[in-house]
Structure 1
Amino acid sequence: MNLFADIRVLVIDALAALEAAGTLPAGLDTRNVTVEPPRDAAHGDMATNAAMVLAKPAKMKPRDIADALAEKLAADARITSAEVAGPGFLNLLLAPALWQGVVTGVLKTGADFGRSAMGQGQKINVEYVSANPTGPLHVGHTRGAVFGDALASLLDFAGYDVTREYYINDGGAQVDVLARSVYLRYLEAHGQEVAFEDGTYPGDYLIPVGAALKEKVGDAYVGKPEAEWLADIREYATEAMMDLIRDDLAALGVEMDVFYSEKSLYGTGKIEAALEDLRGKGLIYEGVLEPPKGKKPEDWEPREQTLFKSTEHGDDVDRPVMKSDGSWTYFAPDIAYHYDKVQRGFDALIDVFGADHGGYVKRMKAAVSALSGGAVPLDIKLTQLVKLFKNGEPFKMSKRAGTFVTLRDVVDEVGPGVTRFHMLTRKNDAPLDFDFDKVLEQSRENPVFYVQYANARVASVLRKAAEQGWDASDAVLTAQDLSGLEDPSELALIRKLAEWPRLVEAAADAHEPHRVAFYLYDLAGEFHGLWNKGNDLPGLRFLQEDAATSLPKIALARAVAVVISAGLGILGVEPAEEMR
């Protein structure tokens, strides 16, 4: 059920009738005609831009189209009034029965209210986190993990076939550094004094890894040259770190469908195959790049390299894929990885990167465009930095990690639900302040509390109804006559409920799950507003003296809880039944 979509159909049908009558010219394109909530609620229930977008192709004044459309719509029993505003916007007031029917629709549909078929089962790959397997996830990864996971859930709710994927960066030199760091902890486990130098990782999290390695191999690697142990410890350490990362993700409620190893691209012909595909399209050549901007001539050494002609697909400059010494650049395996995604048959790709990857956006989009012949879109979402505070002061670094605050530090402090919701209270490309005190504060200024408190209030209403011996099951509530829900505050709450299906589609289309968090906060605000009015006006309270009067109002409260539960489910947050 999507009331906005239903009224849009009514508008489109009315326009077709005006065409048939000769009032409008035939063949008008109505794809850009929208029906939306008005910017000012005082203007009505819904507004349509039909007259504005059709005026030019119809060669008519917007006002003339709006007047004709208003007359046609006003004749429909579902429309109480249709008024033209300004140059030609049309504001609609709906019959109360339509709004009251929204509550029944929510209760009938249950958890699937708002679920959309918009995606039509298209296969979409969402890659997120993808941290180097060199240690525990830090707070920056936390934001990317929450954003990516919520986006995947949102797309699933909107009808897409979603694959959640983690790209394990285990093919680079940083994993050799990890192996050397584990080796130092291994020696330490044998009682040796060690020093962490040359960029090795000093975090305490590697102490148990070194001890476990000692248990596994004894003193087999003690005193041996690096060439004898590096490959084995590299594999062992990578697996140990991925186990740690999987545990961290599980603590946050994140579960991946696919873990894809970068190392699997090397020595398997996959990189060569991807570049051969581009070469066959005339996009690989040998050449010399211009010096980067800001480089002085004496700092620049021109050398011939193998280049990808990424400028033909929207990039600023062509990009090297092989160095002059014959080794691959970092870009080459990334091309091969996305080539593999294209070959797996995804209809669209989404990559969630940290803010420091902004310079990588154009080249990756160019690569996917070239590899798929423009058929597979790639959207890259950048997550900005998170600043942590406690007691008004910057939160100190984690001793366990050595250099940063870990995901587990945050989750252990405030819980996964609070962490996830608060990470979505800002758009992904906006910086985020995370104050450990404020995210646990019980006030309207704390969005997660405000939303959960609304759900808990509904749960308390249902508990009290049960104590009265009233049957307030969804089946009973669905059958109620809701015509008594006509107070402006009640109708305002129902209008907000009606926006949920439309919000889901808009958020999914924009790849912006934070819109769900914003919507839930607004919905909670309407609910709390009605609740508080009931303190002064007893007739607005959800619980009245008898079941017959109470159940329609309880139905409204229950519908709010259904939508809050669905929205929190997308965000990966468990609804609260009571607040303590």
Structure 2
Amino acid sequence: MFLSLRAEVEDALRGALSALELPTDDLGIEEPPEDVEAVLASSVAFRLAGELGAAPPQAAAQVAAEIDPDELTYVSAVETQGPYLNFLPGDAYFAETLAAGTDESYGRLPDREESVVVEHTSANPTGPVHVGRARNPIIGDAVANVLDFAGFDVSRHYYVNDAGRQMAVFTWAYETFDEADLEDEPERDRIEYDLVRYYRKGNAFLEDGPDEEVAAAEAEIDAIMRGLEDGDEETYERVSEVVDQVLGGMKECLARLPAEFDEFVKETRFMLDGSTDELVDQLKALEEAVYEDDAWQLDLTDHGIEKNLVFLRSDGTSLYPTRDLAHHEWKFDNYDRAVTVLGEDHKLQAEQLRTTLRLLGNETDQLEQVLYSYVNLPEGKMSTRRGTGIDLDDLLDEAISRAREEVERRLDDRIRDDDLDEADVERIAHQVGIGAVRYDIVAKQPTKAITFEWDRALDFEAQSAPYVQYVHARCCGILEEAGLDLETAAADLETDVDAAILETDAERDLLETIARFPAVIEEAADDLEPHGVATYTREFAERFNAFYRECPVLADDVDPDVREARLALVAASRHTIANALAVLGVEAPNSM
């Protein structure tokens, strides 16, 4: 209802300004401070005081006088406070919020009939997913979720780098060495942990092996790269045998977050279909094209980019950026918008890509890039060199283990619920542990570097995932205690209640917070900033906990009508927090 109220306020202000023959281009609408009862405020009087020939407080009074609250649906009153106009909500605002919130899909916006492809993660298929890159699938999945919730038709893509030197080295090593040549056992019983040993062995051999054998190996690696460039089917199948196996294991790891994809788009696709060759011809024809240092390049200095974009080697083989340009033109042909989630170390490449696409005649407004800084552990930046870093699987295992310990401790501190068996403890440990990792990472502004701290992420009392998840569990507990089945509660709950009964500050504050949820989704989707939803969940948890403390729902002395209204408010709270957590990719436990 917040979106409806905001639209009503905008219309009312435009009408008032038009009546005063004043410009309506800047309405100065903002959220008021917490100590102000209004839902929205306007500072328009600051801008228009001169034109009205009055001080801002008097200008505000003149504008307010042109608005008749009786003609508005959601606004009950317009009050001035100095130079500000404050818009107070009416009964209809609360009533419709409560009714809307009892729908399980609450917060989902209407279909925008606009397609968006979100590309994220796209880690090279050379081994296990590293924890230093964990921010990409977590942010990328949340960006895709919030766009989907905001009404866009979203496709989640993983762009597979299966044509570069790394994959040629991997293929050669996989075909050259046997199990007996490998020094270590796999760190985990999954295919990518097994095969990465061949990749490491191959790289070590290329660095330290006998010169003649290394030269022969390099010749075979070059032949693999050339075979891919020439569209040789046999070479493609050789590389695919390695890529597909490693990618299968990486999918299993990412599914633990979970981060799932609609399509894995291989870069060799744009070599085999001829689009990369066509693109190379177009690039050579650009004014910026130069042949320097035995390679074709684009000199982009006139476009504010100091480093040249190399797009073709002297031997006629293309590079990753060349194929990625073809990939993006394919995106533009098939989707209305293209969003890519990238690490901060790809900022230069992102600028080169956008500029080159524009030089090729593409409209690049539809291309949006979300850049993020990396995750650090307390002991310092995590390394990816030679497989010495920490794998994402390890982080998730540790999260579940620590969450299990915390759940067990809390159960020991109270009488154990007979209905909470070991399977429930394990379920909660997974929901809380993985939720803690996702929430702690997605809750921060992407461009800010973060250090992951276990104590903070798993703190049930602080503003963390468990703190927010507990709100959902508490809502479920209240509904079950009222005799409702959680599976059918939305249909069985009495929703024809009088929202005006909910008149305490705690109830009204909670309703106002619920009302804002669709607007939070809209803003997060427009800005591609899902951390705004995380901020909202913390505010929501505080409001719900205040309601829980101050407004008993099922106590014997609660009036039956008040009981029904508060139960409806609990149901609306449950749907709101469950959907907000779902956008962040965090599970909402029914019990904790």
TM-score by shorter chain over 0.5: yes
Using the alignment, how far apart are the partners of 1:438 and 1:18 within structure 2? 49
- Residue 286 and residue 79 in structure 1: after superposition, are their counterparts in 2 closer, same or farther (change >3 A)? closer
- Residue 212 and residue 143 in structure 1: after superposition, are their counterparts in 2 closer, same or farther (change >3 A)? closer
- Give the secondary structure class of the aligned counterpart of 1:477: coil
Is 1:328 equivalent to 2:321 in the alignment?
A: no
The one-letter code sitting in structure 2 at the alignment partner of 1:169 is N
Equivalent residue number for residue 351 of structure 1: 340
Using the alignment, how far apart are the partners of 1:97 and 1:341 within structure 2? 44
**2:139/2:442 contact within 8 Å kept:** yes
Using the alignment, how far apart are the partners of 1:348 and 1:56 within structure 2? 43
Equivalent residue number for residue 575 of structure 1: 588
State the Cα distance separating 1:43 from its structure 2 match.
5.7
- Residue 242 and residue 499 in structure 1: after superposition, are their counterparts in 2 closer, same or farther (change >3 A)? same
Equivalent residue number for residue 460 of structure 2: 442
The one-letter code sitting in structure 2 at the alignment partner of 1:477 is E
Q: Could you state the TM-score of these two structures normalised by the residue count of structure 2?
A: 0.78
**1:368/1:377 contact within 8 Å kept:** no
State the Cα distance separating 1:356 from its structure 2 match.
1.9
Using the alignment, how far apart are the partners of 1:29 and 1:418 within structure 2? 46
**1:138/1:406 contact within 8 Å kept:** yes
- Give the secondary structure class of the aligned counterpart of 1:163: strand
1:24 to 12, 17, 21: 21
1:94 to 89, 92, 106: 89
State the Cα distance separating 1:276 from its structure 2 match.
3.7
Using the alignment, how far apart are the partners of 1:321 and 1:212 within structure 2? 30
Is 1:404 equivalent to 2:389 in the alignment?
A: yes
Equivalent residue number for residue 328 of structure 2: 338
**1:96/1:486 contact within 8 Å kept:** no
State the Cα distance separating 1:285 from its structure 2 match.
2.6
259-268 or 563-572: which moved more? 259-268
Equivalent residue number for residue 299 of structure 1: none
Equivalent residue number for residue 204 of structure 2: none
State the Cα distance separating 1:42 from its structure 2 match.
2.4
- Give the secondary structure class of the aligned counterpart of 2:66: helix
491-500 or 259-268: which moved more? 259-268
CA shift digits 1:196-225 (9 cap, x unpaired): 9xxxx9977667449999xxxxxxxxx997
- Residue 510 and residue 101 in structure 1: after superposition, are their counterparts in 2 closer, same or farther (change >3 A)? same
1:114 to 97, 107, 117: 107
Superposition pairs of residues 31-430 of structure 1, within 5 angstroms: 32-33=26-27, 35-42=29-36, 44-52=38-46, 65-76=59-70, 78-86=74-82, 88-107=83-102, 110-117=103-110, 120-183=112-175, 186-187=177-178, 189=179, 191=180, 193=181, 208-209=194-195, 234-266=239-271, 268-278=273-283, 282-286=286-290, 303=293, 305-308=295-298, 310=300, 315-316=305-306, 318-324=308-314, 326-344=316-334, 346-374=335-363, 376-389=365-378, 402-414=387-399, 415=430, 416-430=434-448
- Residue 131 and residue 11 in structure 1: after superposition, are their counterparts in 2 closer, same or farther (change >3 A)? closer
State the Cα distance separating 1:515 from its structure 2 match.
1.0
Using the alignment, how far apart are the partners of 1:574 and 1:286 within structure 2? 53
Using the alignment, how far apart are the partners of 1:68 and 1:388 within structure 2? 57
The one-letter code sitting in structure 1 at the alignment partner of 2:109 is S
Gaps spanning 5+ residues in structure 2: where?
200-212, 225-234, 400-429
Using the alignment, how far apart are the partners of 2:347 and 2:382 within structure 1? 27
Q: Could you state the TM-score of these two structures normalised by the residue count of structure 1?
A: 0.80
CA shift digits 1:87-107 (9 cap, x unpaired): x43222223442243112212
- Residue 149 and residue 194 in structure 1: after superposition, are their counterparts in 2 closer, same or farther (change >3 A)? closer
Q: Count the aligned residue pairs.
A: 523
Using the alignment, how far apart are the partners of 2:359 and 2:382 within structure 1? 45
- State, as a whole percentage, how many aligned pairs show the same letter: 26
CA shift digits 1:125-163 (9 cap, x unpaired): 111000111001111332100110110110011111211
**2:132/2:376 contact within 8 Å kept:** no
Gaps spanning 5+ residues in structure 1: where?
214-222, 289-302, 535-539
State the Cα distance separating 1:17 from its structure 2 match.
5.4
